[in-house]
């Protein structure tokens, strides 16, 4: 039963990817490697992968909505969201499914057009609210087992970019980018 379900999921993955209109990203462990650095005054800093940033910009250019949804906070995430033009940066969230439901309601988008990338057990809770649950390569084993798609990239090391390319592959924008390059400012 489990093996057949998994085969059906893999078979239908391309069409499911094609329906995505909202990509929601956990932050720590997805956009970052999960490490937290503190400066001498206690300020929190995080490392974000620039390739992920370009992937987000490409998704936005294609018309997909990208949002951040994180239990953590501290300022670095909000700053990165502003840098990338992310309109929905939900941080300090204690109930991810409720926050995701509110975001979907605000945007008028259903779970059937939503994908979520996570890396740990707290991300499993969004499963009923998404069409695609995606795990980073270094995600917790239980999340990887239940994910619809496990990326080959680790969190903070191109996982979001990999997902962006999967979502854009086959579109006219992707043909243009891979043929002529992307001419807007890199972030």
> pLDDT by residue (tens digit) across 124-174?
999 999 999 999 999 999 999 999 999 999 999 999 999 999 999 978 888
Global pTM value = 0.89
CA-CA distance, 82 to 159, in Å (whole number)? 20
- What is the pLDDT, as a whole number, of residue 9? 55
For residue 178, give both structure tokens: 């891979």
> pLDDT by residue (tens digit) across 32-55?
998 888 889 888 888 999 999 999
Q: For residue 158, what is the domain's CATH number?
A: 3.40.50.1000
Residue scoring higher pLDDT (87 or 187):
87
Identify whether 145 is part of a domain: yes
> pLDDT by residue (tens digit) across 86-131?
999 999 999 999 999 999 999 999 999 999 999 999 999 999 999 9
- What is the pLDDT, as a whole number, of residue 98? 98
Identify whether 185 is part of a domain: no
- pLDDT-based confidence at residue 1 (cuts at 50, 70, 90): very low
For residue 42, give both structure tokens: 């206690």
The total number of structural domains in the chain stands at 1
CB 143 within 8 A of CB 124: yes
Identify whether 107 is part of a domain: yes
Identify whether 30 is part of a domain: yes
What's the domain range around 101?
Answer: 2-180
Nearest alpha carbon to residue 52 among 136, 149, 156, 123: 156
Identify whether 186 is part of a domain: no
Identify whether 171 is part of a domain: yes
Identify whether 83 is part of a domain: yes
CA-CA distance, 80 to 77, in Å (whole number)? 5
- What is the pLDDT, as a whole number, of residue 165? 94
**Across residues 58-82, what is the average pLDDT?**
92
């Amino acid at each position: 039963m489990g093996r057949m379900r998994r085969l059906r999921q893999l078979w239908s993955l391309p069409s499911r990817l094609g329906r995505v209109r909202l990509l929601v990203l956990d932050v720590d462990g997805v956009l970052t490697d999960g490490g937290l650095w503190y400066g001498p005054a206690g300020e929190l800093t995080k490392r974000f992968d620039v390739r992920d940033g370009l992937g987000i910009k490409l998704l936005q250019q294609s018309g997909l909505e990208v949002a951040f949804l994180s239990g953590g906070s501290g300022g670095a995430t909000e700053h990165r969201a502003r840098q990338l033009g992310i309109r929905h940066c939900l941080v300090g969230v204690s109930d991810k499914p409720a926050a995701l439901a509110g975001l979907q309601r605000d945007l008028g988008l259903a779970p059937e057009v939503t994908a979520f990338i996570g890396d740990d057990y707290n991300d499993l809770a969004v499963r009923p609210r998404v069409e695609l649950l995606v795990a980073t390569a270094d995600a917790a084993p239980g999340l990887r087992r239940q994910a619809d798609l496990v990326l080959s990239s680790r969190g903070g090391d191109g996982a979001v970019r990999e997902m962006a390319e999967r979502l854009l592959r086959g579109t006219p924008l992707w043909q243009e980018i891979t043929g002529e390059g992307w001419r807007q400012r890199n972030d």
